[in-house]
Structure 1
């Protein structure tokens, strides 16, 4: 029973790690292919928050997933991500929707933003917030982190396989010796 549970755990861990690796490779490939475009995975764009302008809802180091959204569907109080005139990516809350665009403000800021967001600059709406996951993503995207993230689980998988095969080999030897 223990061996079966260990095997199930190993396979689930392997599948999870493989999915994460595929996701990271896909996003990295997209980012290198077109550096000016934010990578997208099934319509969701992963971004790491760099400032505390949206605290307490979103903090620096959090990872957000931004879902592409039509500008016509944006409403007040939604948290959107957009590009400013100087191409910076900003995530703030909509405080007013006007025909010229959206007036936004960071929850932690005292005043509204000095610009209106052009509907063409909209990247999308924040759909998921993963607290502190941006730090992990930054580490994993480093050479050391990626090596550990790929090599360590792979090594663990190999060690478990070697252990199971060695165990089976010695169990067969004991069974053969007991029959004699």
Structure 2
């Protein structure tokens, strides 16, 4: 039973590390190579929610994953660029190719109309709290900590593998 729990824990940790490496890789690619932090891959993108304007539907610290769409409808939650920021709000009105948006927790609609070219995509998945971890991992302390944790994990699992192979 202990082996199953250990193997299960290692599998879960491995999956989490792989997901974080993929997210960090996308972030690094967008920032360093494309020079556009809003760029996505295959029409998908992710952003960390920093404000409570969409609570309780999307809590602060969540990751939202968006997918580009050919068109958007009323009630869709979209992420869009506005004045150098990315905002995630709900479409409350459509006038031709212009959208009126509003945060669920806000009392009034956004003052600026959103044009199709500003939209990064429709929110298709929300992962609560993961944004806090991603923001921490993107910090210098987080990157150093990740390497230390991976080193400790490698040493710990390496010793266990080697201990089973020894002959007495």
TM-score by length of 1: 0.80
Cα distance in 1 for partners of 2:92, 2:15 equals 42
Contact 1:102 1:118 in 2 (8 A): yes
2:115 aligned with 1:118, yes or no? yes
Max Rg structure: 1
Shift of 1:3: 4.6
Contact 1:14 1:157 in 2 (8 A): no
Change (3 A) 1:127 1:10: same
Cα distance in 2 for partners of 1:103, 1:69 equals 17
Change (3 A) 1:134 1:8: closer
Partner residue in 1 for 2:20: 20
Partner residue in 1 for 2:106: 109
Contact 1:27 1:39 in 2 (8 A): no
Where 1:55 maps in the other structure, the secondary structure is: coil
Shift of 1:104: 1.0
2:144 aligned with 1:147, yes or no? yes
Partner residue in 2 for 1:69: 69
Partner residue in 2 for 1:80: 78
Change (3 A) 1:34 1:165: same
Give the structure with the higher percent helix: 1
Shift of 1:37: 4.1
2:165 aligned with 1:168, yes or no? yes
Cα distance in 2 for partners of 1:12, 1:88 equals 34
Shift of 1:81: 1.1
Partner residue in 2 for 1:35: 35
Aligned pair count? 168
Partner residue in 1 for 2:134: 137
Partner residue in 1 for 2:88: 91
Shift of 1:65: 1.0
Partner residue in 2 for 1:177: none
Query: Which ranges of 4 or more aligned residues in structure 1 deviate by more than 4 Å?
Result: 1-5
Aligned-residue CA RMSD (Å): 2.3
Contact 2:27 2:37 in 1 (8 A): no
Shift of 1:138: 0.7
